[in-house]
Amino acid sequence: MDMKKASMIIDKDYQISKIDPRIYGSFVEHLGRCVYGGIYEPGHPSADEQGFRKDVIDMVKELNVPLIRYPGGNFVSGYNWEDGVGPVESRPRRLDLAWRTVETNEVGTNEFADWAKRVNAEVNMAVNLGTRGIDAARNLVEYCNHPSGSYYSDLRRSHGYKEPHKFKTWCLGNEMDGPWQIGHKTAAEYGRIATEAAKVMKWVDPTIELVACGSSSRGMRTFAEWEATVLDHTYDHVEYISLHTYYGNPQNDISNFLAKSLDMDSFIKSVISICDYVKAKKRSKKQINLSFDEWNVWYHSHESDKRLEPWTVAPPQLEDVYNFEDALLVGCMLITLLRHSDRVKIACLAQLVNVIAPIMTNNGGETWRQTIFYPFMHASNYGRGTALQTIVKSPVYDSKEFTDVPYLESIAVHNEENEELTVFAVNRDTTEGLLLECDARQFEGYRVVEHLVLENDDIKAANTAERPDAVKPHSGGEAKLQDGRLTAPLPKLSWNVIRMKK
Ligand code: AHR
């Protein structure tokens, strides 16, 4: 029987956009073992003089993450930033009402800034617009970004940080549309406080960029109306609006699960339309871009989390063990973000360590890479440059929630500077391989340097401390590029990275 086929035309002049590197951002929240037992564990054999785990730092560097959102998430809506600065021994232990834990405040803004430097990332700082307001927000900007000669900048200097951190991107709160959020607000209430906070934050430091909270998911009853109202208030004061989404496969329906990136695609298109509707209404010349600052698979740990004791320090919350099919959906979601790189300028894989994360650790023990680590690492390392508008024809299927789902999910990225062309492709077919035939005429003289493939006979296979390499990519893919024609067999259920170079 002949293999199913898909075709693609790649033209280097048909461009979607230059890819903003911040699309490969991630997220560290004071939640579960993300900070304590994750990035920070003073007693660990690999800990440095500040208590940061070097084994974790090394793994984060493999992901080449340029931006990390911090310190939450739901946590930020009850956080007093002042608790986390100054002498560690006098920092208070607080009840964190968002996650029902005890926060020791051993790690705060300055320590996190140090850690972010160690992994070559910028900090995307969030302010608390739940229990706090514009005063705490402007003071935090002054503390972090003002050079000296004022109360909060001199306070930072007295804490040992002579130079300002110069955090550039700031989030105006978190998921303020959600009733679970500490200090939940209506769209109008949030629109007002976000505008006033934005004004004073930018008066302290006019170089910062701001992200307003969009809906916490497309499924919220207030979705769309929320974005329109919030932007009506904040349009002239912010640069981005946020999107969050998490998918799961509790019904164990893989064809439907792998199609969920189509939902992400519609979500992005809808938010772009809302931004542009408000732009039209205001006769504005300014364009609001998107910050998809929480995205991932999240469902495996929902039940076990209900059994955890409240009010402990760093319990194992949200510790999803990702399997092979999750890595395929994460691959499809990365491709979707890249296809919208003209408007999605920031995206954060939520989260980075232990909490719904690509990197796992044992307290006092080893680190390992979850299945989702690989597509993210590949995209972040090889997906830099310009996203190309390819013309793709792929056979399609219908699933429970989606129609005309292409078996092939793909994007091509051209890095002109390094003379590299990379095709990222997922074959969603559960039963057979797909032959990708590609017209890449302007890339004559290029050759395939590597065809990486992530595939596995067991869709539920997962990496654990005992079997850290149960799911990992190999470079035995059979892509060939000859006379400007690329042919690549994509195995059933596989993530592929076809790297070509002059
Ligand atoms: O990433 C986990 C949580 O998901 C975040 O704290 C919150 O913003 C979202 O609901």
Widest distance between CA atoms in the chain: 76
3-class secondary structure per residue, 245-303: EEECCCCCCHHHHHCCHHHHHHHHHHHHHHHHHHHHHCCCCCCCEEEEEEEEECCCCHH
Query: How does pLDDT run across 286-316, given as a tens digit for each residue?
Result: 999 999 999 999 999 999 999 999 999 999 9
| CATH code of the domain containing 483 | 2.60.40.1180
Last residue of a domain, one of 320, 349, 382: 382
DSSP-derived 3-state class of residue 59: helix
Q: What is the pLDDT of residue 444?
A: 83
Last residue of a domain, one of 366, 382, 398: 382
Closest residue CA from atom 7 of ligand 1 = 73
294 is catalytic: yes
Query: How does pLDDT run across 234-283, given as a tens digit for each residue?
Result: 999 999 999 999 999 999 999 999 999 999 999 999 999 999 999 999 99
- Which mutation among 172, 175, 317 tests ligand 1's pocket best, with the greatest number of atoms within 8 A of CB? 175
Q: Do residue 349 and residue 489 come from a single domain?
A: no
CA–CA dist 16, 340 (Å, integer): 8
Give the residue-averaged pLDDT of 5-33.
97
Q: What is the pLDDT of residue 70?
A: 98
| CATH code of the domain containing 321 | 3.20.20.80
**Beta-carbon neighbour count of residue 197 at 10 Å?**
28
Give the residue-averaged pLDDT of 472-495.
96
Q: What is the pLDDT of residue 1?
A: 55
Residue 2 confidence class, pLDDT cut points 50, 70, 90: confident
CA–CA dist 44, 59 (Å, integer): 16
Q: Do residue 484 and residue 406 come from a single domain?
A: yes
Q: Do residue 377 and residue 393 come from a single domain?
A: no
Q: Do residue 284 and residue 424 come from a single domain?
A: no
CA–CA dist 444, 438 (Å, integer): 12
Question: Rounded to the nearest 10 degrees, what angle do helices 225-234 and 187-204 cross at?
Answer: 30
Of 82, 192, 62, 189, give the one whose Cα is nearest residue 127. Answer: 82
Structural domain including 187 reads 21-382
Q: Do residue 373 and residue 480 come from a single domain?
A: no
Amino acid code (one letter) for 180: W
Spatial contact of 367 and 361, defined as CB atoms under 8 Å apart: yes
Residue 483 confidence class, pLDDT cut points 50, 70, 90: confident
In this structure, the strands spanning 344-350 and 4-9 are unpaired
Residue 408 confidence class, pLDDT cut points 50, 70, 90: very high
Q: Do residue 318 and residue 402 come from a single domain?
A: no
Identify the active-site residue in 29, 41, 103, 175.
175
Closest residue CA from atom 4 of ligand 1 = 73
Question: What strands lie across the sheet with 391-393, from one edge to the other?
Answer: 391-393, 4-9, 434-439, 485-490, 480-482
Number of domain units in the chain = 2
Last residue of a domain, one of 382, 414, 436: 382
Give CA 193 to chain center in angstroms: 26
Q: Does 394 score more than 60 pLDDT?
A: yes
* Ligand 1 atom closest to 178 (CA): 10
DSSP state of 20: P
CA–CA dist 108, 76 (Å, integer): 12
Give the residue-averaged pLDDT of 3-16.
96
Closest residue CA from atom 8 of ligand 1 = 73
What six digits make up the tokens of 398? 């219908």
Q: Do residue 339 and residue 355 come from a single domain?
A: yes
Q: Do residue 271 and residue 340 come from a single domain?
A: yes
Q: Do residue 320 and residue 399 come from a single domain?
A: no
Query: How does pLDDT run across 422-464, given as a tens digit for each residue?
Result: 999 999 999 999 999 999 989 988 999 999 999 999 999 999 9
Spatial contact of 325 and 257, defined as CB atoms under 8 Å apart: yes
Q: Do residue 406 and residue 371 come from a single domain?
A: no
Give the residue-averaged pLDDT of 330-341.
98
Q: What is the mean pLDDT of the chain?
A: 97
Give the residue-averaged pLDDT of 48-68.
98
DSSP state of 170: E
Whole-number Å distance, alpha carbon 32 to ligand 1 midpoint, is 12
Location of structure tokens 């002049």? 13
What six digits make up the tokens of 251? 């019904």
Query: How does pLDDT run across 251-260, given as a tens digit for each residue?
Result: 999 999 999 9
Query: How does pLDDT run across 188-236, given as a tens digit for each residue?
Result: 999 999 999 999 999 999 999 999 999 999 999 999 999 999 999 999 9
Q: Is 175 in the pocket of ligand 1 (CB under 6 A)?
A: yes
Whole-number Å distance, alpha carbon 243 to ligand 1 midpoint, is 12
Q: Is 351 in the pocket of ligand 1 (CB under 6 A)?
A: yes
* Ligand 1 atom closest to 72 (CA): 6
Q: Do residue 294 and residue 164 come from a single domain?
A: yes
CA–CA dist 95, 99 (Å, integer): 9
Backbone region of residue 333 per phi and psi (left: phi > 0; alpha: psi in -120 to 50; beta: other values):
alpha
Q: Do residue 328 and residue 312 come from a single domain?
A: yes
